Amino acid sequence: MHSLNLNQIKMTTKKVLDHGLKRTIIPVFVSLLLLVLPSLSSNAMPMAKKVKLTGTWVLNESKSDFGDYGRMWASNKLIIIQKRKTLSMERFSSGPSGEEYNALENYTLDGMECENSFGDQMKKTSTVTWSEDKQSLTINSKLDIEAEGQQMTIDTIEILSLQDDGNTLVIKGTAMTDFGDMVVEFIYDLQ
């Protein structure tokens, strides 16, 4: 028969209590953590999933607001390919006399400046940023245009977002020129 001394009994009791407390405290701690995490600000704990803009989009003229001169700015079709850190947008448009043309623009999604050139006459310098909730993408651009010896700068802001369960692309645009500002809203349907 083994005899237990007082120190062995204390140590055995402590081990049982420690084990029991751990089994009780850990689930309580995890439960409290799960209650507190959602209330943290989005800066401390980013949880929003970025909207996915990839698709072929066709202009819906009847739903769009072109403003005074916005139809010239609107593309007939957009092909957007969004990858993890990049976005390419091919714009298909028609000129004033009906000639069709397209322009491919490539952007980084990290807020760094990127540049797109369209021939020798136009350069577009842009930064792209996500909204805090990651549901819209803002493209801030400066277009430097040279035509017939004249130079002109146009500052633009385009805010891209999805509606109707991702079937509608909305582009809210503002162009600021020496001749005044133009505000438009282009609606595109997923093809």
More confident residue, 124 or 16: 124
What is the spatial distance between Cα 156 and Cα 140, in angstroms, rounded to a whole number? 6
What is the spatial distance between Cα 56 and Cα 31, in angstroms, rounded to a whole number? 44
**What sign does the dihedral 166-187-174-82 (CA atoms) show?**
positive
What average pLDDT score do residues 152-175 get? 96
Helical (H) or strand (E) element with 13: helix 6-36
Q: What is the pLDDT of residue 22?
A: 47
Verdict on whether the full-model pTM lies above 0.85: no
User: What confidence category does residue 19 fall into, taking pLDDT thresholds of 50, 70 and 90?
Assistant: low
What average pLDDT score do residues 113-129 get? 94
More confident residue, 41 or 94: 94
Burial of 148 (0-12, 13-18, 19+ CB in 10 A): exposed
Instruction: Give the percent of the chain with pLDDT over 70.
Output: 75
Read out DSSP for 14-48?
A: HHHHHHHHHHHHHHHHHHHHHHHGGGS-TTTS--P
Burial of 101 (0-12, 13-18, 19+ CB in 10 A): exposed
Q: What is the pLDDT of residue 73?
A: 81
What is the spatial distance between Cα 66 and Cα 155, in angstroms, rounded to a whole number? 18
What is the spatial distance between Cα 57 and Cα 178, in angstroms, rounded to a whole number? 31
User: What confidence category does residue 102 fall into, taking pLDDT thresholds of 50, 70 and 90?
Assistant: very high
What average pLDDT score do residues 49-56 get? 95
What average pLDDT score do residues 42-65 get? 83
Out of 3.30.465.10, 2.40.128.20, 3.40.50.150, 3.40.190.10, the CATH code matching 55-190 is 2.40.128.20
What average pLDDT score do residues 130-152 get? 94
User: What confidence category does residue 40 fall into, taking pLDDT thresholds of 50, 70 and 90?
Assistant: very low
The structure tokens listed for 162 are 């999805």
Residue 68 has pLDDT above 90, yes or no: no
The structure tokens listed for 6 are 């007082």
